[in-house]
Amino acid sequence: MSEPSSEIIAVLSAKSRVDLKQYNVPQLRRRLALLRVKFGFNSMDEYLAALKTDSSLVEATIQRLTIVYTGFFRDKRYWLNLQQAVAELELVNSGVLKFWSCGCATGEEAYSLAFMLATLLPTHRYQIYASDVDKQALAHARAGLYPSKAVQEIGVAERSRWFKQKEDGFQVREQFRKRIQFFSHDLHSSHYLQDNHMIICRNVIIHFNEAAKAKIHQKLAAALVQNGYLFLGATEQILSPEHYNLKPESLYLYKKL
C-alpha cells in the first residue's frame, strides 16, 4: 500500500491538472504534513479522504503548495542588473521588446517591471506578459489591488505615481495595468510564449525535481530570442548553462548566445 502523502499528491495532480510529480517530493511531503495540521485533520488518511470529495479543499491545498513569495522590487541588486540588461536591449533592438514574467504569482514582480520600463523606455515600444498556474493569484494580479503594507517601502512620490489609494489598500493605476497581459500557464506544459527578449522566472524552479528543472531550463532558453536575457532566483543557478546555449552574466542572469 502506498503512503498517504503519495496518494494525496496523485489525487491533487488528477483533480487540479497541476503535475505535482514534477515537484520536489520530499519538500511536498513536508508541506502537506503542515497543511494537514492547518486544515484540522487528525491523520494523513483523513486528509486524503477529504481531498477525494472536497474540491474547495483541493483548490486551497494546491494554492498553498504552489505559492511563490513575491513583493514590489524585491532584492534591489537584482533590479539594478535587470535595468542594465534593459538598457542593452534598447541599444541593439529597434523593434518591439517582449518581456515575460513567468510564475508571476499575485503580480508584484510584473508591475515592478511595468513601473521600471515606463521610466527606462518612454518612447520605445514594448509588451509585457505575465503568467502563473494559480488562477486565483492571476485574478488578484489583474485587479492590481494590494494592502497598504505591500507598498510601505515604496517612496511617497513613486507610490502616488504608480498607485491610486482606495479604502481597502492601493490599486495599481490603470495605465500600468493595461500594459500587462496576464494569462494562465503551467511551466510543465509544452507550449511556451516565444520570441521573448527577457524572461523573469524567479523562485519558482527551485520547487521542482532535477529532471523537471532541466526540461524547464531547455524550454525557457528556447523561448528567448538571440541575445535575450533569462533572470532566475539567486539560488536557482543553472549548473551547465552551455547545454542550453546560455552564458552566465551574473549570479542569476543568463544571456542567450
Amino acid sitting at position 142: R
Identify the pLDDT of residue 66.
66
Q: What is the pLDDT of residues 101-152, one digit of tens each?
A: 999 999 999 999 999 999 889 889 999 999 998 888 999 999 999 999 889 8
Strand partners, 127: 98
Query: What is the CATH architecture assignment of 76-256?
Result: 3-Layer(aba) Sandwich (3.40)
Identify the pLDDT of residue 243.
94
Domain ranges of the chain: 4-65, 76-256
- CA–CA dist 96, 75 (Å, integer): 27
Q: What is the pLDDT of residues 46-66, one digit of tens each?
A: 998 999 988 888 888 877 776
Identify the pLDDT of residue 203.
85
Q: Counting every residue, how long is the chain?
A: 257
Collapsing DSSP to helix, strand or coil, 11 comes out as helix
Concatenated DSSP letters of 83-137: HHHHHHHHHH--S-EEEEEES-TTSHHHHHHHHHHHHH-SSS-EEEEEEES-HHH
Q: Which three cell numbers stand for residue 158?
A: 513613486
Strand partners, 146: 170
The total of other beta-carbon atoms located within 10 Å of residue 55's CB is 10
- CA–CA dist 18, 99 (Å, integer): 25
For residue 163, give the DSSP letter.
E
Name the stretches of the chain with pLDDT < 50: 1
Q: Which three cell numbers stand for residue 179?
A: 500594459
- CA–CA dist 228, 223 (Å, integer): 9
Tell the burial category of 250 from Cβ atoms under 10 Å away from its Cβ (0-12, 13-18, 19+). middle
Residues 81, 96 contacting (CB under 8 angstroms): no
Strand partners, 231: 200, 253
